[in-house]
Structure formats: structure tokens, C-alpha cells
């Protein structure tokens, strides 16, 4: 681990627990309680850097470099704004991302209730986790706060220059009915239609146990590989696929669809 300019650069482990937030590097997914946050793979990388450096400011350029390697500064600014909204909406009074123009972004953790700690520990056990400064001012500008101030958990200030999405559409869920796996590895085709405006996540459940949960897939995105959380004997199993859609403006879960999934293990 190297410490430079007040923040840490480390290799991404399989998992990282930061207060009530659980980060799974294998799936590039972040969980608050037992629900995944609606963020993309790139946004996960930036959130990981912020979480590892909790209570320390991370410059915009560092987040841009860590997550949007070939993206523009505008892409990074919009992505970071999405992370802030997802974390601040989910975290209520327990976690928050704030911004100070001269210093960058900071992930803050308040005193965590025992119930939230238990929830994170249970989720970590359930999914069997093993080891794991210039800003585009026209796009993002948040209320300033002094570095010497204590953590203040207030309503999330809306970034300037971002268009609010008021449009509502019927969610188009993919038609998935079968998955073939060899051991715990499977080639899959879980996708989010380009016709959607919603994010979608995928979860496979069998006999009440979670076998797989994805991160959030943006419209036009897809997953082609997965690793089951539990090794199953060869055979054919009937499971459930739970697909959840998230509103692109509020990041609230807006619709859920559950289908029968035939899982063949070779």
C-alpha cells in the first residue's frame, strides 16, 4: 500500500467492508444491507477508492484515472455524481460522500448502529466472500464545507448542469430461462436492453439461498461470465432469477420480475 497526497492506492481485494457498505470486487458490486447499489462497473472502481480512503479527500483526477481510463472528464463527473446520489440516498444518516472544490471527494462514515453492522456481517457470510484539482464545474458543483468541520449529514445537494430524467417507461427485462455452469463458473448472457432507461440487477436464488447476485447493469450493458457463490454437484436444478429495475433519476428500486431458471451444472 502506498500513501500519496493524503490518500491510498491499493490493489482491489475480493471484498472490502466500509461501515454499512460492502464492496465485492469479484462482481464489481456494492451493497447497503442486502441490496446492491445502482452503480456501474466504472462507478464501482471510483467508489472503492473513496471507501478505502474514507474520511480523507480524494482528488477528482485520481477518481477519473482509477475508473474512467478512456473516458472524458465529463464522463467521470457524471459518474461520480451518480455514485454520490446512490450512496447518499441509500446511506441515510450512516454514510455520505461530500465534495470540497479545492480538495476533492470524501467518503464519510458516521457512527454505525449495531443492526447495520450485523446486516453487513450476515451478507458477507451469505455470499461467502474470500479475500478480496480540476473538476468540470459546469457538470458538478456541491456545497462547500470546511475540512475542519465535523461530519454533517444533510440533504444531498443536486449537481448543477445534470438533466433530471422525468420520463417513465415500461421496463424491458431480458428473456432468461437457462444457465449452464461447469463447477462454479458459467458463461451467461444477462443484458439490459438499449431501449431501457432503467438499470437492472440479477440475482439467482435456490431453496432460499443466494447463488449469485450481480452488480447494476446500465442500459446497453451485459454480463457474460458469472461465478456461483456455492459449488453444486453435477445435475439440473430449478432456481429463481430475480431481476430488479432501478429508476435512473432516483436510484430507487422501481420494478421486480421473478422467473424460473433451469441451472445445469456439469
Specify the CATH number of the domain 2-126: 1.10.10.10
C-alpha cell at 46: 471510483
For residue 163, what pLDDT is reported? 33
Please tell me the predicted confidence (pLDDT) of residue 14. Answer: 65
Global pTM value: 0.48
Q: How far apart are CA 138 and CA 80, in angstroms?
A: 14
Q: How far apart are CA 34 and CA 232, in angstroms?
A: 23
pLDDT of residue 99: 85
The residue written with cell numbers 442500459 in the block is: 219
Task: Name 211's Cβ contacts closer than 8 Å, sequence gap at least 6.
Answer: 204, 205, 228, 229, 230, 232, 239, 263
pLDDT of residue 72: 87
pLDDT at 95: 83
Beta strands, E only, the chain:
2-4, 7-9, 15-18, 21-24, 29-32, 35-36, 57-58, 95-100, 104-109, 178-182, 185-191, 199-206, 209-213, 222-227, 235-246, 253-265
* 178-265 belongs to CATH 3.30.365.10: no
82-107 confidence digits (pLDDT tens) = 998 888 888 766 788 888 877 889 88
User: Residue 217's pLDDT is what?
Assistant: 84
**121-154 pLDDT, tens digit each:** 455 444 433 333 333 333 333 333 333 333 333 3
Q: Which residues of the chain have pLDDT under 70?
A: 1-14, 92-93, 111-169, 249-251
The cell for 20 is: 454499512
The residues spanned by each domain of the chain are 2-126, 178-265
Amino acid at each position: 500500500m502506498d500513501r500519496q497526497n493524503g490518500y491510498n492506492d491499493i490493489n482491489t481485494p475480493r471484498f472490502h467492508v466500509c461501515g454499512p457498505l460492502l464492496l465485492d470486487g469479484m462482481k464489481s458490486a456494492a451493497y447497503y444491507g442486502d441490496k446492491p447499489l445502482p452503480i456501474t462497473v466504472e462507478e464501482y472502481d471510483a467508489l472503492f477508492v473513496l471507501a478505502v480512503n474514507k474520511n480523507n479527500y480524494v482528488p477528482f483526477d485520481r477518481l477519473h484515472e482509477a475508473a474512467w481510463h478512456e473516458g472524458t472528464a465529463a464522463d467521470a463527473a457524471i459518474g461520480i455524481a451518480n455514485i454520490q446520489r446512490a450512496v447518499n440516498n441509500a446511506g441515510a444518516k450512516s454514510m455520505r460522500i461530500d465534495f470540497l472544490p479545492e480538495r476533492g471527494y470524501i467518503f464519510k462514515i458516521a457512527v454505525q448502529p449495531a443492526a447495520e453492522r450485523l446486516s453487513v456481517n450476515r451478507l458477507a457470510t451469505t455470499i461467502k466472500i474470500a479475500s478480496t484539482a480540476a473538476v468540470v464545474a459546469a457538470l458538478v458543483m456541491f456545497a462547500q464545507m470546511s475540512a475542519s468541520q465535523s461530519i454533517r449529514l444533510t440533504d444531498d445537494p443536486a449537481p448543477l448542469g445534470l438533466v433530471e430524467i422525468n420520463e417513465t417507461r415500461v421496463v424491458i427485462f431480458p428473456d432468461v430461462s437457462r444457465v449452464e455452469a461447469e463447477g462454479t463458473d458459467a458463461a451467461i448472457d444477462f443484458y439490459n436492453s438499449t431501449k431501457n432507461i432503467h438499470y437492472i440487477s440479477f440475482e439467482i436464488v435456490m431453496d432460499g439461498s443466494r447463488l449469485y447476485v450481480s452488480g447494476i447493469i446500465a442500459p446497453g450493458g451485459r454480463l457474460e461470465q458469472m461465478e456461483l457463490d456455492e459449488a453444486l454437484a453435477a445435475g439440473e436444478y430449478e432456481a429463481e432469477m430475480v431481476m430488479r429495475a432501478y429508476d435512473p433519476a432516483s436510484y430507487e428500486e422501481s420494478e421486480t420480475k421473478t422467473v424460473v431458471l433451469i441451472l445445469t451444472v456439469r
